Amino acid sequence: MYTLGIETSCDETAAAVVEDGVKVLSNVVASQVDYHRKFGGVVPEIASRKHLEYIIPVIREALSQAQIELADISLIAVTAGPGLVGSLLVGVCTAKAMAYARKIPLVAANHIEGHIYGLVADGQVLPYPSVALVVSGGHTCLYLLPQPGEYRLLGQTRDDAVGEAYDKVGKVLGLSYPGGPVIDRLAASGNPEAIPFPRPYLSKDSLDFSYSGLKTAVWYYIKQKVAPPGEEDSADIDTKGANPKVPAPGQGRAIPIPKNQLADIAASFQEAAIEVLVHKTLLAAKRNNVCTVILAGGVAANRRLKEKMTVDAQATGVEVLYPRPGLCTDNAAMIACAGYARYRRGNVADLSLNAASSWPL
């Protein structure tokens, strides 16, 4: 059984063909990052218009790479939420039209569940029970997975998602968008203990997250503590688009950051952000007596997160699973796998399906 997956929740236009819910035959992603980079973030109106431009060519390419025809598709799975409503509508309307024309079942896939099923798209098996940490530009949440199709929210961000914090800190540091991958590269050359940024643990027993304060702490450190320029080129750091001048909010000047300090700031911020993610995830695993943790979402591709989570988990007898990087970020293979699983559980949508910018898992 061939499933066509369609993903347009943010700024990636994606389509994939998956056989029997597990075998990925194609996975095509058209990125819009070059259009949004100059704005330092995703512009919803631009994203929607680019989805309209890309959606049909991307679907055709996915079918071509899978070496099948549209007539061979037996099921269509589309991301119906959560996400940017204008972007979601492009995928949902396209999927409904195709399902109606071909008279085949349509499944509404949840984007967060899709990230968890990135593990399945990578050829791995979802273990039960387990705890899943879903981290991306729009989501930071912890779920208990007691059995297939059941998700219990254990904790979530109270303000910024961790991926959003990465992008905003990247902007403050003068790095190119998206900031997450650039900060991760910079951090590899920095000292994670150089700056004692706060760890936002919230209350003692809380499994919720908060990253707005950490983001603000980085800005104030740069504004108040960064030394004047002098040895900017003393360190050979690949910043991949870094601009060592940080705009001061509300002011028409810039704060210069020497490159040797840039790496330390990136490493210290990253360590503070990740330490909390790891601590709360393993605490959730311990409280729920599970021995497997799943990392999902775009930030799951982060080098330091995978490294620290794996080392700390091994010390407590917990196994850590995550997809390869290309299946951590938004893609349609994960949506096809998640949609197929929903179809097998009897969850089929009708043509009244609409996009939902907020859709709790």
State whether CATH 3.40.720.10 applies to domain 125-322: no
Task: Supply the pLDDT for residue 227.
Answer: 47
**Percentage of the chain surpassing pLDDT 70?**
92
- Transcribe 230-277 into DSSP letters: S-TTSS----SS--SEEEPTTSS-EEE--HHHHHHHHHHHHHHHHHHH
Give yes or no for residue 229 having a pLDDT over 80: no
Give yes or no for residue 80 having a pLDDT over 80: yes
Identify the residue whose tokens are 């704060």. 255
pLDDT band at 203 (very low <50, low <70, confident <90, very high): confident
pLDDT band at 217 (very low <50, low <70, confident <90, very high): very high
Task: Supply the pLDDT for residue 240.
Answer: 44
Task: Supply the pLDDT for residue 228.
Answer: 53
Rounded CA-CA distance 104/44 in Å is: 31
**Percentage of the chain surpassing pLDDT 90?**
81
Length of the chain as a residue count = 361
Domain ranges of the chain: 2-119+327-344, 125-322
**Backbone φ and ψ of 266, nearest 5°:** -60, -45
Dump pLDDT digits (tens) for 118-152.
Answer: 999 999 999 999 999 999 988 999 999 999 999 99
3-state class (DSSP) for residue 27: strand
Q: What average pLDDT does the segment 202-227 reach? A: 87
CATH superfamily label, 2-119+327-344: ATPase, nucleotide binding domain (3.30.420.40)
pLDDT band at 226 (very low <50, low <70, confident <90, very high): confident
Dump pLDDT digits (tens) for 156-195.
Answer: 999 999 999 999 999 888 888 888 999 999 999 999 999 9
Q: What average pLDDT does the segment 97-105 reach? A: 98
Q: List the beta strands (DSSP E) in the chain.
A: 2-7, 12-19, 23-31, 73-81, 106-110, 130-135, 140-145, 152-156, 245-247, 254-256, 292-296, 319-321
Token duo for residue 181: 């991958």
Checking 232-235 for CB contacts under 8 A at 24+ apart, the result is 232/256, 232/258, 232/259, 232/260, 233/259, 234/258, 234/259, 234/260, 235/189, 235/259, 235/260, 235/263
Q: What average pLDDT does the segment 262-277 reach? A: 96
Give yes or no for residue 237 having a pLDDT over 50: no
pLDDT band at 260 (very low <50, low <70, confident <90, very high): confident
3-state class (DSSP) for residue 332: coil
Token duo for residue 357: 């910018």
Q: What average pLDDT does the segment 45-69 reach? A: 97
Element (H, E) at 181: helix 179-187
pLDDT band at 254 (very low <50, low <70, confident <90, very high): very low
Task: Supply the pLDDT for residue 129.
Answer: 97
Task: Supply the pLDDT for residue 251.
Answer: 35
Identify residue 230 by its one-letter amino acid code.
G
